[in-house]
Amino acid sequence: MTILAYVLHIGGGTIGLASGLVAAFARKGGYLHRKAGTVFVVSMLAIATFAIYLAIVLSDQVNLFIGTFAFYLVATAWMTVRRGEGTSGLFEKIALFVALGLCAPFSILAFQLVTGMTPSIKSTVPFEGPVLIAIYIFTSVLALAAIGDARLVLGGGLSGAPRIGRHLWRMCLGLTLAAGSFFTNALPRLLPPPVHITPIFFLPQLLLLCFLIFWLIRVRLTGWRQS
């Protein structure tokens, strides 16, 4: 079952990465964008589920939270455009609860790492270098996500540019997670043993983050709207 989960996780991740790139560069709101986006959402929800299973089997609490975070990101991004403008419901309240539930352990872990305390969360990789930076980034993003969910629930929904922006950054960040999983985790395992992870492996993630920033600026500051 573990080997099968690995195969499905990697296979689903490859499909998710390809479909996500197509959706990202296709005309927004067009047929190809919607179809590729649907494939991306299904793929990401599947690989996040397998990641959660593998994290439980391997007793890797960090990946358990990250897998849940990926599921949460894509699910809330999808629901954002499924909801009508200015509306919200039970799903958004559950999402807020999940965001707060994820933010709490990451905040505790980040505090422990900053102060030099023994981490209370188990991980199969040491908390150092890029992993340490990733923990701080995840904690910050989770805090922003929780704040966004709270504003949505209290405000009764989103309309216009804020609604599109919420969908955009959550989808793009989910795609960035897929790229990171492939280029810094799956790909190095397929390369010869002497090959080590170097900064070049992080370039696809940085490019996707630049793409995300570009579209956020375009949506929020230039009056662009999805037709």
Q: What is the pLDDT confidence band of residue 50, given thresholds at 50, 70 and 90? A: confident
The region, left, alpha or beta by phi > 0 then psi within -120 to 50, assigned to residue 116 is left
Closest CA to 43 of 9, 79, 88: 9
Q: Could you give the maximum distance between any two Cα atoms of the chain, in Å?
A: 54
Q: What is the pTM of this model?
A: 0.86
Assigned domain for 77 exists: yes
Task: List the Cα angle 121/123/124 in 5-degree steps.
Answer: 165
- b/e code 119-148 from CB counts within 10 Å (16+ = b): bebebeeeeeeeeeeebeebbebbbebbeb
CA distance 184 to 182: 6
The answer to whether position 50 is within a domain reads: yes
The answer to whether the CB of 75 falls within 8 A of the CB of 46 is: no
pLDDT at 65 over 70: yes
- Candidates 100, 33, 43; CA nearest to 71 is 43
Which domain does 40 fall in, by range? 2-221
Mean pLDDT along residues 73-86: 91
Domain-located, residue 227: no
Whether the Cβ atoms of residue 44 and residue 29 lie closer than 8 Å to each other: no
Q: Which residue has the higher pLDDT, 147 or 128?
A: 147
Q: Please tell me the predicted confidence (pLDDT) of residue 51.
A: 86
Q: Tell me, what's the pLDDT at 188?
A: 65
Higher per-residue pLDDT: 43 or 7: 43
Residue-level pLDDT at 227: 42
Split at pLDDT 50, 70, 90, the class of 189 is low
Q: How high is the mean pLDDT of the chain?
A: 85
Average pLDDT over residues 30-40: 92
pLDDT tops 90 at residue 13: no
Position 226 in a domain: no
Residue 48 has pLDDT above 80, yes or no: yes
Helices (H), the chain: 2-25, 31-57, 61-82, 90-115, 130-155, 160-181, 187-190, 203-221
Sequence-separated (6 or more) residues with CB below 8 Å from residue 116 = none
In a domain, 34, yes or no: yes
Q: How many domains does the chain have?
A: 1
pLDDT of residue 145: 93
pLDDT, greater one: 127 or 108: 108
